[in-house]
């Protein structure tokens, strides 16, 4: 009986140390919020007959890993979607996308006519120079809090 317990205890130590060995490198991997830099973020002015607008920025991924923006939060809008613009039959359209990918050592431009963040149901007046708080949430669960000027 005793021997059995000892073997069980040794097995447990071995098993837990192998889990530790597996998880340790993951813990030392930098999170998306450590390696992604945001440049020139701006919220577009809202046109008079609309309550939605676009957010643009450059997302620079300085790491060896691919990351995705999977969600965005801001208190100024009822709903926020990730969008992609495209042209079809000579008209401009946009569609919702699940995420926006930023590949290693590259920059992803969120810009007019391309990927962008869509603020829908903006619940306050946004004037030029106002600051909009906005949080980007990445696929690894990390996030970046931004304060973005209206332009």
Q: Which residue is nearest to Cu ion (CB)?
A: 83
Nearer to Cu ion, 80 or 118 (CB): 118
Give min distance, CB of 118 to Cu ion, in A.
4
Q: 69: closest CA among 13, 151, 143? A: 143
Closer residue to Cu ion, CB minimum distance, 23 or 95: 95
Closest among 50, 65, 54, 35 to 132, alpha carbons compared: 54
Question: Which positions ≥6 away from 94 have C-beta within 8 Å?
Answer: 83, 84, 85, 86, 116, 118
Is position 118 an interface residue for Cu ion (rule: CB under 5 A)?
Answer: yes
The smaller minimum CB distance to Cu ion, of residues 18 and 112, is found at: 112
CA gap 130, 126 in Å, rounded: 6
From the list 36-44, 70-78, 87-95, 101-109, the region that binds Cu ion by CB under 5 A is 87-95
Residues that bind Cu ion (CB under 5 A): 83, 94, 118
């Amino acid at each position: 009986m005793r021997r059995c317990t000892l073997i069980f205890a040794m097995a447990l130590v071995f098993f837990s140390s192998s889990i530790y060995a597996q998880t340790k490198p993951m813990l030392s991997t930098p999170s998306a919020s450590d390696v992604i830099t945001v440049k020139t973020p701006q919220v577009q002015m809202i046109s008079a007959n609309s309550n939605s607008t676009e957010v643009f920025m450059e997302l620079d991924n300085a790491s060896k890993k691919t990351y995705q923006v999977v969600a965005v939060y801001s208190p100024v809008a009822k709903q926020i979607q990730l969008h992609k613009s495209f042209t079809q039959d000579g008209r401009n359209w946009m569609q919702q996308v699940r995420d926006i990918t930023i590949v290693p050592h590259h920059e992803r431009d969120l810009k007019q006519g391309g990927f962008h963040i869509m603020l829908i149901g903006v619940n306050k007046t946004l004037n030029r120079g106002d600051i909009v708080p906005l949080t980007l949430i990445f696929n690894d669960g990390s996030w970046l809090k931004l304060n973005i000027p209206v332009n």
